[in-house]
Amino acid sequence: MLIDTHAHLEMREFNDDRDEVIKRAREAGVEYIITVGTTVESTRDAVMLADKYDFIYAAVGIHPHETKDILHPAYDIIKHFAQHKKVVAYGEIGLDYYYEHSQRNIQQRKFRDMLQEARKLELPVIIHDRDAHEDTLRILKEEWDPAIGGVMHCFSGDVEYAKQVMDLGFHISIAGPVTFPKAQALRDVVKQVPIEQMLIETDSPYLTPQPFRGKRNEPAYVRYTAEEVAKVKGLSFEDVARITSFNAMQLFGIGEVPKKGMITYPIRNSLYLNVTNRCTSACTFCVRYFSDFVKGHYLRLRDEPSAEDLLREIGDPKRFDEIVFCGYGEPTLRLDVIKAVAAEVKKKGGRVRIDTNGHGNLIHKRNILPELKGLVDAVSVSLNAQNAELYEKLSQPKFGAAAYEAVKEFIREATRYIPEVTATVVSAPGVDIEACRRIAEELGARYRVREYNVVG
């Protein structure tokens, strides 16, 4: 599923073949389209289009180019259209200093007015900020409520700007220019921005991606942007489609998000196994405390799966690069299931990895690592900190102060039985990345730093 979160299907460029354009989008896997008003008239047309098609939603607003002549009653008309059940956002609004069809002070005043209108309506905002990042940021800080959220449409800033607007509750929307050969700066931003805060869009009829650059853009081409984002982030096309669609559904309240806990779920070309939601830690950064989803997959389990359930879903493990016991709970709590599933996967020629907090020996009160010999190819163990004090603070282990040394011992022991052992840390505040690297080396393990607030 793909969602084009920003198109202008109501514009006259589509007057001759609008229905065919919409049909092509559906055939290309575009599940929903948000068509975005830029004037009072186009807002009306966007809402009418949303009224006609189940899968089209509308945004209401006045583009900064058009703000010069608008008077206060225009806001009342926009407010009237905003009552329509298919309206999911207020936009596009903002500032544009590239053409400056309206003076800067007029643009800024009207931008503030419309942010206040959107806030009263509790609608997410779609922001246009060409060549006006500094003023946009200042006004958003003064006027916007991060709890309502919004999107920086066709993002054109740098990584620092992206971080600042994300802190204000905004998503970063990537459009066709990411496919242009000279757009390395934008691809660098894509690399750094968490996919969990990213949307994709066409801005059609504008900003046509490669390979159709120079022609009219249309929603079906959003897939080229998704493909480029996947390439840059080292994800699969399906991952980007699923995660950005999930993000859009959450932000704009559209579609039905699946709510059945998945016991297996693909990320890149690995298959992850969700064997339990229980854990012997309560890490301060754990995704379970702020989301039921990882990379667009719903992981809150009602019942824990059996080995048979898991094997049925895995099928032929050679379809995947690896089968991973992970991480929305502590998998070694279900050691018997790990052993039974891993044995079958190995028998069928698959590769097995476990992501663990390293409490397995504490949980089972014995050394479990010899039992995993020959069944597990790789293990990633959360070292998390350079000393016991910080470990206890960050991971809040059920086993108390003794847990840190036990985790280190687990890593050292793992290197005797498992071919590939990696100690991981999350770049959380207070973590000394280099000190942890030295500890990993002393224990004979590889080392990996995971980004704070990035999961999966």
- CB of residue 450 vs ligand SF4: minimum separation in angstroms? 10
Q: Which two tokens stand for residue 223?
A: 């897939």
Residue 245 binds ligand SF4 (CB under 6 A): no
Residue 345 binds ligand SF4 (CB under 6 A): no
With contacts defined by CB under 6 A, name the span among 87-95, 145-153, 280-288, 346-354 that binds ligand SF4. Answer: 280-288
- CB of residue 360 vs ligand SF4: minimum separation in angstroms? 12
- Report the distance separating Cα 339 and Cα 202, nearest Å: 47
Which one of 102, 281, 386, 422 is in contact with ligand SF4 (CB under 6 A)?
A: 281
- CB of residue 226 vs ligand SF4: minimum separation in angstroms? 29
- Dihedral sign, Cα of residue 315, residue 319, residue 323, residue 328: negative
Q: Which is nearer to ligand SF4, 82 or 286 (CB)?
A: 286
With contacts defined by CB under 6 A, name the span among 97-105, 177-185, 192-200, 278-286 that binds ligand SF4. Answer: 278-286
- CB of residue 359 vs ligand SF4: minimum separation in angstroms? 8
Which one of 93, 172, 189, 279 is in contact with ligand SF4 (CB under 6 A)?
A: 279
With contacts defined by CB under 6 A, name the span among 266-274, 282-290, 360-368, 412-420 that binds ligand SF4. Answer: 282-290
String marking each residue 349-368 x if it binds ligand SF4 according to CB under 6 A: --------x-----------
- CB of residue 328 vs ligand SF4: minimum separation in angstroms? 6
Q: Between β-strands 264-267 and 30-36, what pairing exists: parallel, antiparallel or unpaired? A: unpaired
- CB of residue 446 vs ligand SF4: minimum separation in angstroms? 19
- Report the distance separating Cα 8 and Cα 59, nearest Å: 10
Helix H segments across 90-158? 104-121, 133-143
Q: Which is nearer to ligand SF4, 116 or 284 (CB)?
A: 284
Is residue 64 a contact partner of residue 95, using CB atoms and an 8 Å limit?
yes
Q: Which two tokens stand for residue 408?
A: 């280190």
String marking each residue 368-407 x if it binds ligand SF4 according to CB under 6 A: --------------x-------------------------
Q: Between β-strands 322-326 and 352-356, what pairing exists: parallel, antiparallel or unpaired? A: parallel
Cα dihedral 434/439/444/449 (nearest 10): -40
Q: Which two tokens stand for residue 31?
A: 């599940």
Of 316-335, binders to ligand SF4 (CB under 6 A) are 327, 329-330
With contacts defined by CB under 6 A, name the span among 124-132, 193-201, 277-285, 363-371 that binds ligand SF4. Answer: 277-285
Q: Between β-strands 264-267 and 270-274, what pairing exists: parallel, antiparallel or unpaired? A: antiparallel
Tell me whether residue 212 is exposed, middle or buried, using C-beta atoms within 10 angstroms of its C-beta: 0 to 12, 13 to 18, 19 or more: middle
Residue 286 binds ligand SF4 (CB under 6 A): yes
What own/partner pairs with CB < 8 Å and gap ≥ 24 does 312-317 have?
313/263, 313/264, 314/264, 314/271, 314/273, 314/341, 314/345, 314/350, 316/348, 317/271, 317/345, 317/348, 317/349, 317/350, 317/351
Q: Which is nearer to ligand SF4, 87 or 425 (CB)?
A: 425
> What residues line the site for ligand SF4 (CB under 6 A)?
279, 281-283, 286, 288, 327, 329-330, 357, 382
